[in-house]
Structure 1
Amino acid sequence: MLEWAKLLNGERQRKSESKSYPHRNEFDKDYERIIYSSSLRRLQDKAQVFPLQNNDFTRTRLTHSLEVASLGRSLAWNIGEWLIEKKAFEGFAEAKQLASLVEVSCLVHDLGNPPFGHYGEDIIRKWFKEWFASDLYKDKVTDTDTDTDTDTDKIIFDELSTQQKNDFIYFEGNAQAIRILSKLQFLNDQYGANFSYATLATLMKYPWASDHGKVKKKKKFGYFYSERELFKEIVSKTGTEECRHPATYILEAADDIAYLTADIEDAVKKDVFDWDKIYQEIRHEFGELYPKEFYRLEDLRRKALLNKVPNKNLINVQNFKVTIQGIMIIAVVNTFKEKYDLIMNGEFEGDLLSNSTARTLSDKLRDVAFKYVFSNKEVLTLELVGDRVLNDLLDLFVNAVVNVKSIKKTKSKHEKLVHLISENFRHIQRISEKGEPTVEFEDLPLYNRLQLVTDFISGMTDGYAVNLHQELLGVKLP
């Protein structure tokens, strides 16, 4: 049985020096730690669905994350008030903690996504699956022929473990977010942004390693080999083990509600499809199930016509978005209440929205998005560009890091490429187990060298990745 006293654990790897007050808990501190960070700002140049353009409407990963945080906070307050009534919470302070925990977790939930969204993850996974099966990898790891190799400059590495390989073959943006917050968002030491254990546990949607039996089926995992000791600390401090943190379900529901409605709104703004036609389909299918809500939508649509509102399709879909979000919020909160004992026992399967009364409605919105949004020419073109860009960058930088012994010089092409990798990421790889920057590049094992590349590439914005790709291919000068 999970316990809220441990689930709301605000401790950190490095003890916080700032004070907590009734109006400012540890999760509010997490929010303040990340809101000014470069990692969060990069999300403004990462596409949500449609390619980034010179207008202020189409959502980016940053605006999406802000919307998810708002929805998550609302869901958490609703649930927190119920937990007070249920006596699971002693009072307002714990409800406030839950709301703050969910809000900051929602804000950073996409922090580890590479350029070009989830398709970027697929590109990285496919590239490494092929690379580990290639002679290029096999030629670099220890084998029986190394003693007779006459090439004295050849660099030989120990073969990676299954978990280490799977970290790349099933590369996961959620695990990368944990890595960013615990290491890569560098301040003064090896603890990164030094987030609270409860927030890190909430972000870990898939609390198992990449070599776990669940990975082959789900293609998902929660942490890299490099963060294995941190994972042990997180589960010890929060008591979650291989169970999801209850707040994770709230985060996931907020994300689902946000993108299911917002992606359609963006598509209507871009005239991707005839909104009136789609709306009538949805009303015909769900009008009797939600009569009050659709009566209100019809009234708002009549007012838009009467008042000769410009861009009435956009106004209508925005009213639709707000109404549908309200339906799904109530459904999700009710499901959390109904499944509470299963959630606290670590026995709940699936997600809140799919197990709610709004399941068929959410399925309909998902079908609309797949049929009209994700198949849109602009979206497909962005993915094809991402495919070329990321494959070429991985070719260049992985080939560089596995063929360079030292980076004290910048004479060869490989040495120059390694020096292009963020100095911040190179510095983090230099930090020893004692927390001191004493590890030299020539002593880095293969796993660390490959992770140096994925840290660098996954941290790029869409625009930076495209520009660097063009520069390295000679399409344009730096």
Structure 2
Amino acid sequence: MQGHRLRGLRDGTSGLVAMPASISKAPRPQRMAWPRLLDNTRLGGRAAAPTDGGRSEYQKDHDRLIFSEPFRKLSRKTQVHPLPENDRVHNRLTHTLEVSCVGRSLGELTGKRLAAAGELPPHVAAADVAAVVQAACLAHDIGNPPFGHAGEYAVRDWYSRRPIGFFSGCTPAAVQDFKTFEGNAQGFRLLTSLVDTVGLRLTYATLASFIKYPWSSVHAPRHRPGKFNYFDSERAIFTEICGKLGIVEHEAGVFARHPLVYLVEAADDICYAIIDIEDGIEMGILPPADVEALLCDLLTAPLQAEFRGAASSLTDNQRIRWLRGKAVDLLIEDCVQSFFSHAEAILCGRFASTLVEAGAPRVAQGIRAAKQMARDRIFTHSRKMEIEIGAYAAIDTLLDACSDSVRELLEVGNRDKLSYRASRVLTLMGEHAPPPGTPIEESYRLMNDFVSGLTDNRATRLAQAIRGAGG
């Protein structure tokens, strides 16, 4: 990257990724380079075949995700509201598709500016940058368990209540993984280790663009408590990806983000904030007027004037859709500008903010207000909390049954000697059932793979069946 074209930068000061203090003292910080960052080699070292004018390797990543089973399951996983009765409320799949559309736009605008500056390697077109961001957006929630974040908390809580002896045979790092179970790390495991034994074989560039929290559960307390992107079981794969792309390493096991992660994060921020409050209208939690006022504040003065001139002839839904469309357009433009305003800090791994927070004050304040409205009035709604309590009970039942069965298998050493109940549970676990002799740590990981891969509906039905069989 030619530094003089993208200079005049300032570091973000508020954000989610805490960088080690030693970075600012380095006289010559390491700097990432776009030719390496956009490597289209597939995980495992499979070199990309020469293109013949058809799909690029990054576009193939997009298609592989779309056609994968874990992606299809997102249609029955919670976005914000578990098991909603209103079909117009977003699920995890519709949210993901919207994020991917916004991400494609962010990537396309970014790719065009990089191409115009001569920063892209010969094998990468501007549209390929869009394809990488879009593919990473498609994958960004692929590891989430049933019931959304409530499912994550339920898994963590279950492991935290186990006695010390339950973890006999597990490494300290594995115990930390279990007690702080994270959907992002589960997604990385799924993409790299679980599908067809070696993941979906995505390109290094797309996989790195998926990694929002580039550290392990052991490092998380010093960077972003409760957030991390790889379990100890995927440490070697994670390190391989970062090494291949020349990602800045701040300390052993802790890396900078791939620059395109900031675009994926921005796409999620934009959709998450706006979608949550739109769903609040659908659920009868928020009045349209409150959402209308919030979205209007995101707009520039000329657009606000245009809206006031047209508002009287529009219905409530039409006004919300008009405002949403204009707001998303402005947010995309602002985030791309923010990306290039902070490009030097991003490429040196020193950018400690988000593109939204580091952008125009109007944008940052508007997104914060939207998220605050969601926290105060949607996330605490009684129906949502009631269903989440049920989600905890379902996760507890499933993990109780699975752990009893895998521990019994480890004890007896042969599936033919298992109790009827344990045998049936392991059969339900399918490909995630540990073979006889599997160490206890890997057995627990397989158990988590099974539970996290369930949809809301499937998890609810299985938990009910298990309770019935046990009662």
TM-score, with normalisation over the residues of structure 1? 0.84
Look up the match of 2:263.
250
Look up the match of 1:168.
178
Read off the aligned partner of 2:351 and give its amino acid letter.
Answer: F
| CA distance 1:215–1:61, shift in 2 (3 Å) | farther
Q: 1:325 aligns with which of 308, 324, 328?
A: 328
Read off the aligned partner of 2:38 and give its amino acid letter.
Answer: L
Q: Does 1:355 align with 2:350?
A: no
Look up the match of 1:341.
344
Task: Tell me by how many angstroms 1:418 deviates.
Answer: 4.4
Give me the whole-angstrom Cα distance separating, in 1, the residues matched to 2:234 and 2:339: 30
1:13-162 → structure 2 map (5 Å cutoff): 13=44, 15=46, 20-53=51-84, 56-89=87-120, 93-131=124-162, 134-137=163-166, 141=168, 158=169, 160-162=170-172
Residues 65-117 of structure 1: per-residue CA shift (max 9 Å, x gap)? 00000000001111111112322225794322211100011011100000010
- Unpaired runs of at least 5, structure 1: 142-157, 305-311, 430-439
Q: 1:3 aligns with which of 19, 33, 55?
A: 33
Give me the whole-angstrom Cα distance separating, in 2, the residues matched to 1:209 and 1:176: 12
Q: 2:446 aligns with which of 446, 452, 456?
A: 452
Q: Does 1:223 align with 2:230?
A: yes
Look up the match of 2:426.
419
Give me the whole-angstrom Cα distance separating, in 2, the residues matched to 1:272 and 1:48: 16
Read off the aligned partner of 2:186 and give its amino acid letter.
Answer: Q
RCO comparison, higher one (Cα < 8 Å, 6+): 2
Task: Tell me by how many angstroms 1:282 deviates.
Answer: 6.2
Read off the aligned partner of 2:321 and give its amino acid letter.
Answer: Q
- Number of aligned positions between the proteins: 430
Deviates more, 1:395-404 or 1:206-215: 206-215
Residues 298-353 of structure 1: per-residue CA shift (max 9 Å, x gap)? 2332221xxxxxxx222222222112212211221111011000000000002111
Give me the whole-angstrom Cα distance separating, in 1, the residues matched to 2:220 and 2:460: 36
Q: 2:396 aligns with which of 385, 391, 395?
A: 391
Q: Which has the larger radius of gyration?
A: 1
Task: Tell me by how many angstroms 1:294 deviates.
Answer: 1.4
Please tell me whether the aligned partners of residues 30 and 196 of structure 1 are also in contact (alpha carbons under 8 angstroms): yes
1:204-219 → structure 2 map (5 Å cutoff): 204-212=211-219, 214=221, 217-219=224-226
Please tell me whether the aligned partners of residues 68 and 106 of structure 1 are also in contact (alpha carbons under 8 angstroms): yes
Give me the whole-angstrom Cα distance separating, in 2, the residues matched to 1:203 and 1:122: 22
Task: Tell me by how many angstroms 1:281 deviates.
Answer: 6.2
Read off the aligned partner of 2:37 and give its amino acid letter.
Answer: L
Task: Tell me by how many angstroms 1:47 deviates.
Answer: 1.6
Q: 1:301 aligns with which of 289, 295, 311?
A: 311
1:256-267 → structure 2 map (5 Å cutoff): 256-267=269-280
Give me the whole-angstrom Cα distance separating, in 2, the residues matched to 1:18 and 1:90: 16
Q: Does 1:441 align with 2:444?
A: no
| CA distance 1:421–1:20, shift in 2 (3 Å) | farther
| CA distance 1:21–1:272, shift in 2 (3 Å) | farther
Please tell me whether the aligned partners of residues 397 and 467 of structure 2 are also in contact (alpha carbons under 8 angstroms): no
| CA distance 1:255–1:281, shift in 2 (3 Å) | closer
TM-score, with normalisation over the residues of structure 2? 0.85
Task: Tell me by how many angstroms 1:279 deviates.
Answer: 2.9
Look up the match of 2:242.
235
Please tell me whether the aligned partners of residues 197 and 238 of structure 1 are also in contact (alpha carbons under 8 angstroms): yes
2:289 is paired with a residue whose SS is: helix
Task: Tell me by how many angstroms 1:370 deviates.
Answer: 1.4
Q: % of aligned pairs identical?
A: 30
| CA distance 1:449–1:270, shift in 2 (3 Å) | same
Please tell me whether the aligned partners of residues 210 and 221 of structure 1 are also in contact (alpha carbons under 8 angstroms): yes
| CA distance 1:278–1:193, shift in 2 (3 Å) | closer
Residues 114-162 of structure 1: per-residue CA shift (max 9 Å, x gap)? 001012111111211221xx15526xx2xxxxxxxxxxxxxxxx3x222
